[in-house]
Amino acid sequence: MSTDLVVDARWLPPPEPMERVLQALEMRGRGQRVHLLIHREPYPLYELLNARGMEWRSRTLADGCYEVLIGGEAGDV
Amino acid sequence: MQAAGGLDFRQAPPFFVPLRFFLTAPVFLFLAGLLLFTPGAASWQRWSPAILAAVHLVTLGFLAMVMMGAFLQLLAVVAGAPVARPRLLAGLVYGPLTLGTLSLAGGFWLSDRWLFYPALTLLAAALATFALAAAASLRGAARNATVFAMAAAIFALAVTLALGLALGATRAGWLELANFVALVDLHATWGLLGWVFVLVAGVAYQVVPMFQLTPAYPRRLTRYLVPLFMVGLLDLPWAQEARSAWPGDAVALFLAACLLVFALATLYLQHRRRRRVADVTLDYWRVGMACLVGAALLGPSGAQRFPALLGILFLYGFAVSVVSGMLYKILPFLAWFHLQSHTQAPAGTIPNMKSFLPEVRARRQFAVHVATLGLLLLSTLPGGPWRYAAAAGVCLSALRLTANLWGVWRLFRAQGGRSG
């Protein structure tokens, strides 16, 4: 598997985190996942990813930020 | 569903639901500015027809118009409790609110009692429909400090409306009220403090940390400030009825202290924000909070001695500033979000949020707004040419705000966005 594309969107005002994630999703190579770091839980992004049929998984980090791993196809994440 | 501390756009109403309120509101601000040119506004007399008309154009036409549009959005994304039929509700509220506000302002300005008939009927229909629908939705809402503040603000709006209808009926000659002046004070207190301040505070708990990247408000503040403030508001008329003056003074001082705590806490959080980049909304909020500090320090004694100064600080300095700042954040955000959702566009093919409303245009309008605020404050001094300059400033600022907001909508449409 290729290296994840990392988007560090911590402490960026909305909707910059979403803009950057969408850009990364367009740019990534085949099989490459997007690894998002963000300071708030990105509910609107989940909605958008679901609407596009993308797989994602999120978890809370020790510092209160969130890590969202986004893959392109089922089973990727 | 909505989790604490986040926004959930799954149930967001169509863009046109809040949009029509946001695009119409600055026009009322412009009309209020025009009224300040008239001779009736010369001395800032509280009871002068032009001032009464201008105040209601600002409070109903600008502030309530934006706040009600935003409320419909907030019910869905913050409270997780959207109104059942947002298009229908917005339609039932928007038209009567617009026409009712114009009729009321006309009734005050022309001292024409016949205009109060349509005004009271339309405003009662608009505000009661809105309050009932919002209250019904809030029954199924998530439980958090913002939702509590929204419910408290709706209650305050209902009290303000009931008092306003009684006062309007008196003015139209259908009713006689013995304690007319005291009820006017109560009407203004519930409208400005209960509806405007409480809703701003509740919304600030969400939007200040989110958009201005500040730490969260202290939990104790969000838990206790609005509930205690509402207890104070409810107590105020009984305390003022007491034989001695001190209970009324004590409650009024407590309310002023609550305003001060909120404003200072917000300024402190903004000072501790994570990213120190220029942002016109942040600057609008800072001006708003500074004016709220001024209003809190001036009142309650200021209400008697300097009513015009207090009114300008609270209405234009605090409320209009905060609402304008929020418009600059919410409208481009919603335009970007709905465009993204509608078109499912790949990144880079739709404008980013900042290009919906270039910062330089917002900042020019902000500069006019701040200069206007200064002129309005100067115009409370006796004599001098400040009132005409202030009136021109209100008009120019409102026109620039209108142009900036309509520009967002035009770009949205040009990019293929559907607002319906």
With CB atoms and an 8 Å threshold, state whether B6 touches A41.
Answer: yes
| Contacts by residues B227-236 (CB-CB < 8 Å, ≥ 24 positions apart) | B227/B148, B227/B152, B228/B254, B228/B258, B229/B193, B229/B197, B229/B198, B229/B201, B229/B255, B229/B258, B230/B152, B230/B155, B230/B156, B230/B194, B230/B198, B232/B258, B233/B156, B233/B189, B233/B190, B233/B193, B233/B194, B236/B186, B236/B189
Q: Is it the case that residue B225 has pLDDT exceeding 80?
A: yes
Measured between CB atoms, which of A11, A14, A23 is closest to B348? A23
Q: Does the residue A44 lie in any domain?
A: yes
Using an 8 Å Cβ cutoff, are B211 and A40 in contact?
no
For B352, the closest of A19, A25, A43 (CB atoms) is A19
Complex prediction ipTM: 0.75
Query: Looking at chain A, which residue has its C-alpha nearest residue B1?
Result: A43
Report d(CA B254, CA A28) in Å as an integer.
57
Q: Report chain B residues whose CB lies below 8 A from the CB of A14.
A: 210-211, 333
Using the beta-carbon criterion (under 8 Å), do B353 and A16 form an inter-chain contact?
yes
Instruction: Show the domain range for B310.
Output: 16-343+350-410
Task: Kindly state whether residue A77 falls inside one of the protein's structural domains.
Answer: no
Domain-located, residue B8: no
Say yes or no to pLDDT of B7 above 90.
no
Identify whether A39 is part of a domain. yes
- Report if residue B92 sits inside a domain: yes
The count of structural domains within chain B is: 1
Residue B352 in contact with partner chain A when CB distance is under 8 A: yes
pLDDT value of residue B2 = 39
Task: For residue B379, tell me if it sits in a domain.
Answer: yes
Read off the CATH number of the domain in which B299 is found.
1.20.210.10
Q: Which residues of B touch A42 (CB under 8 A)?
A: 6
Residue A28 in any domain: the answer is yes
**Who among B2, B6, B347 is closest to A40 (CB)?**
B6
Tell if the CB–CB gap between B341 and A51 is shorter than 8 Å: yes
Q: How confident is the model at residue B254 (pLDDT cuts 50, 70, 90)?
A: very high
Q: Is A76 domain-assigned?
A: no
Q: Does the distance separating the beta carbons of B211 and A15 come in below 8 Å? A: no
Asked if the structure places residue A36 within a domain, the reply is: yes
Q: Domain range spanning residue A47?
A: 5-71
CATH of the domain at A25: 3.30.110.40
* CB atoms B275 and A13 under 8 Å: yes
In a domain, A59, yes or no: yes
Q: Position of tokens 């609005």?
A: B226
Domains held by chain A: number: 1
The pLDDT assigned to B3 comes to 38
Residue B231: inside a domain: yes
Share of chain B above pLDDT 70, in %: 96
Closest-CA residue of B relative to A22 is B347
Residue B343 has pLDDT above 80, yes or no: no
| Across A51-60, B15-24, B309-318, least confident range | A51-60
Residue B234 domain flag: yes
Q: Do B210 and A40 touch (CB under 8 A)?
A: yes
